[in-house]
Amino acid sequence: MATRSLPILLLTLLGLLLANLMFGAVSIPFKQILDGLQIGSEHYFTVHEYRLPRTILAMLVGAMMALAGALVQGVIRNPLASPDVLGVSHGAGLAAVFYMSFFPNADISWLPAVALVGSLMAALMLWWLCGQHSSTIKMAITGVALAALYASCIDFLMLVKPLEINNALLWLTGSLWGRGWNQLSMLLPWLLLMPFALWLAKPLNLIHLGDDSAISLGIKANKLRLASLAIAVGLTASCVAICGPIGFLGLVAPHLTRKLVGGRHQILLPSTMLVGAILLLLADLAARTIDPPIELPAGIMTAIIGAPYFLWLLLRTK
Amino acid sequence: MISIRLPFAGQCLALVLLLLIFSWISLFSWSVIAITPMDALHALYNMNAESIAQHIVHDLRLPRVLIGIMVGANLAAAGVIMQGLTQNPLASPSVLGINAGAALGMATVSSIAPWFGLLGTSLAAIIGGGIAWAFVMLLGSAWRGGNEHGRLVLAGVAISALCAALTKAVIIIAEDQAAGVLTWLAGSLTDARWQTFDSFWPVCVIGLLGAMLIAPTLNLLQLGDDNARNLGVSLMWVKLGGSFLVLLLVGSAISSVGAIGFVGLLVPHMARMLAGQDHRKFLPIAMMLGACLVVLSDTISRGIIYPAETPAGAILALIGAPFFIYLVRKRTL
Amino acid sequence: MSLSTHNLSVGYHDKAIVKQVDLSIPEGKIIALLGPNGCGKSTLLKAMARILSPMEGQVHWQGKNLHGISSKKLAQQLALLPQTQPIPEGIKVKDLVAYGRSPYTGFWGRINRDDQVIIDNVMTETGIIELADQLVSELSGGQRQRVWLAMTLAQDTPYLLLDEPTTYMDLSHQVELMHLLRKLNLQGKTIVTVLHDINQAARYCDYLIVMKQGEIVTQGMPESVLTETMLKDVFSLNAQIHQDPIAQTPMCVVE
């Protein structure tokens, strides 16, 4: 299965990368895209300054969100778990809005760190409320309730301190609009987390077998859980800091991938990054081309695809 | 559990008094033009046509308070009915997707066909809420009964997320209507006028009376579907009728003031603490408590960043969300 | 003694279920842990497999505290088959069995030729070789139990700890399993297993350990342990002890 799926996924990804460069408010033929990379050409601005960084960003963010989802689902053994269902993304959002409204003059490049703190606190909060022995559905509901709490705090902050409400709103819907090379360079350091995540592939396989078996096979279950949740939180926070919470991606991508390539994390983790990148590129492409020149936030597109998928999952979960 | 065991009549009397006091405070507090407490009273029964303050009370504040009372009572009653029908302590209009569905219906109609006017958008809100509620009940397998509490809530959450995303998409695509829809989404009593009151109160009265009629049957549902059927309850009709009432109550409230969340979740639990498990008693208590809560948070929403107003819905969400978490933690799901 | 407990108390949430147990596992034997429900036999087994940390006392492996030994090294010595297992999604039978080799593989979990030989062997021995390419989630309960057993065996450890390995199996597979345990025992493995069926334990095991309310009541050869008074004391059963006509082992018949 895996050997057949991987090349197809790679080809799809390449095709979508190209499509994202070509289509939008203006269509640019394939030949002129290569020219567009040269300074001074007709489409230089559109291709090099606008579409290229955005496309790369969509690819990376999609991959990172999907990876975070796979890590969380891997250790919690819960098909309904994902950073956004567990309230981590909303926690990051709350911290970021808090930062933007109380320190309006502060350096924007601190935003990822602030979002990271927020999502860490959200993760700790969930851990504290649920402990280790909660049932899967109870954990998901607690996460959802926490997310509702953070969302209402965000609303409240934005109403009380309506400084840059438009900016914050735009950011909170989860969008790639207006993101460029600057944001891309802010994201780059966080890519270092990816090899660490892949390094966890083998123990993640074993934790899938239950804690007892995993420990008996020589895995330190609690340390592993901590490590992969920490990486997942880091990945989510950095993405949320740059694009805002893009819902359901971390939930859907690992699931689809498990259907395609099976549950071995050595294959699952890299493939889920491909699937995540594909999904976000697709969502962004649709968001830009559905009704040009108006753009929908990509986060809305992922929610429209993701929520029905979540419902379908819910029907299947016993 | 805290139980304040006043006799039922005493509880009712106390709540009515409380409601009157809250309403009175709401009539005169935090106004740009100074209103004295006496102005507020005079405006009610002995209006002085010269006084601007009394005009404000009569034309702006009074309908606002009255609508707040009705909205609170409606949402609380809807919450009680939903929790009774699903036997789920977390059931409420906001958690089970009715608010989001109504918002979607309303946003769609007002941006695609704005010429329908108030009646059209109200109808759209009711239909949207109804569709969302039907989906949640079907997907959460609540029609079959049983103890699938968590599933129902998660289905509600997912439907809400879907509706919210679609609503945002509609708002963005039809930009020119966006501002109106956005204010409405937050749930605020700012725009409550006599005009709204006139179209709201008949539906409200019918809905609340219907709720009282269904209360004895809700008592029987507590015994479980099978036992209720044994006692001669037609489950099908009760559930359909109950759902219809919920839509009537929530739909009319939402189309008057927007999506106010958490009242339906919060109040039934408070009412149960006060009046016990008998629906015939705690339903009226819940209505009065709901009214108190909405009037109070509307007053707070005017004062908290005075002179600007925050939507009352935001205040309620801040109170309601921690309570939601508390419920999830306390109940075994 | 290689595996022993010293004044060991273990439990959940501050409540001791196994109380101050001193026990040495005799090497090279098949040992059955017996006792009524809730007596602490699974808890004791989990403590010996370092799944649970002691509240008091220690578990020793070759004279050293179990929790001081590197977990990978220990995983090459001790393997546990837990009582209940999750049903992993999207995992094939052969992949699951291969996971048993992970204490020996590198960080990416690559299976080399020697590993593959062991995997094929255990799959043949447990009779699941024809299921190799199926998904674990699609198997029946009994088949799944054998797949998990195969995974534990693939760990290729001198000590095997099994928690009710016959659960979900039909009678013929139960007998097959017990024969397989005997065969593994002849290859030099020490096997500690929790069993419910007293007669099965008496017939196939060399050594019985009987527990009641977190304490060890008696231990020894089946002939000395299996008595009418023990059955009365521990299980509250009125039973007679007869000799098994085929295996010549003791056998209890409930009155």
| A263 contacts on C by Cβ (under 8 Å) | 88-91, 95
Size of interface A-C (CB pairs under 8 A): 90
Let me know whether C149 and C164 are in one domain: no
Q: Does any domain span residue C21?
A: yes
At least 3 CB pairs under 8 A between chains C and A: yes
Q: Looking at residue B48, what is its pLDDT?
A: 75
Q: Calculate the CA A214 to chain-centre distance.
A: 28
Query: What residues in A contact B140, CB-CB < 8 Å?
Result: 314
ipTM above 0.90, yes or no: no
> Residue C62 falls within a domain, yes or no?
yes
Question: Which of residues C127, C156, C185 is at a domain's end?
Answer: C156
> Are C144 and C167 in a shared domain?
no
- In a shared domain, residues C2 and C67: yes
Contact C102 A216 (CB under 8 A): no
Whether the predicted pLDDT of C84 surpasses 60: yes
**Nearest Cα to Cα of residue A224 among B125, B210, B241, C71:** C71
Out of B154, B166, B311, name the one closest to residue A141 (CB): B154
pLDDT score for B71: 92
Give the mean pLDDT of A286-305.
82
Determine the number of helices (DSSP H) and then strands (DSSP E) in chain B: 14, 0
Any idea which of A274-278, B205-209, B324-328, C197-201 has the lowest mean pLDDT?
B324-328
Least confident of B39-53, C68-82, C127-141, C236-250: B39-53
**pLDDT tens figures, C129-153:** 999 889 888 888 888 888 999 999 9
Domain co-membership, C174 together with C69: yes
- Chain B residues near residue A297 by CB distance under 8 angstroms: 168, 172
pLDDT at A234 over 60: yes
Mean pLDDT throughout A223-239? 86
Q: Cβ–Cβ of A218/C88 closer than 8 Å? A: no
- Chain C contact set for A219 (CB, 8 A): 71
Average pLDDT, chain A: 82
Whole-number Å distance between alpha carbons of B293 and B163? 27
CATH class of A79-195+221-245: mainly alpha
The mean pLDDT of A197-214, rounded to a whole number, is 86
Predicted local distance difference test score (pLDDT) of residue C190:
94
pLDDT exceeds cutoff 70 at B177: no
Same-domain check for residues C64 and C13? yes
Rounded to 5°, the CA angle B8-B14-B16 comes to 105
Residue C15 class from Cβ within 10 Å (0-12 exposed, 13-18 middle, 19+ buried)?
Answer: exposed
Query: Domain boundary residue among C138, C156, C174?
Result: C156
Q: How far is A277 from chain C (nearest CA, A)?
A: 22
Domain tally for chain C?
Answer: 2
Overall average pLDDT of the B133-156 stretch: 74
Up-side HSE of residue B251: CA atoms within 13 Å toward CB? 27
Q: Spell out the domains of chain B, with CATH numbers in brackets.
A: 61-330 (1.10.3470.10)
**Sequence-ordered alpha helix ranges (H) in chain A:** 2-22, 30-36, 44, 52-76, 88-102, 111-130, 136-160, 165-172, 181-187, 193-199, 201-207, 211-216, 221-243, 249-261, 265-289, 298-316
Query: The tokens of A216 are what?
Result: 């008996």
- B182 pLDDT tier (thresholds 50, 70, 90): low
Q: Which two tokens stand for residue B249?
A: 């109550």
Question: Do C161 and C204 have their domain in common?
Answer: yes
Are C91 and C131 contained in the same domain? yes
User: What residue spans define the domains of chain A?
Assistant: 79-195+221-245, 246-318
pTM (2 decimals)?
0.80
Find the angle CA(A233)-CA(A239)-CA(A240) to the nearest 5 degrees.
85
For residues C162 and C72, membership in a common domain is answered with: yes
CATH number of the domain where residue C188 is located = 3.40.50.300
Residue C238, domain member (yes or no): no
- Tokens 């003059």 identify what position? A105
Sheet holding C207-212, edge to edge: C78-81, C159-163, C190-194, C30-34, C207-212, C215-220
C166 and C176 in one domain? yes
- Kindly determine whether residue B159 and residue A304, on different chains, have CB atoms separated by under 8 Å: no
Residue range(s) defining the domain that contains residue C10: 1-77+157-221
Do C22 and C146 belong together in one domain?
Answer: no
How many Å apart are CA C22 and CA C1, to the nearest integer? 12
Instruction: Tell me whether residue C253 is in a domain.
Output: no
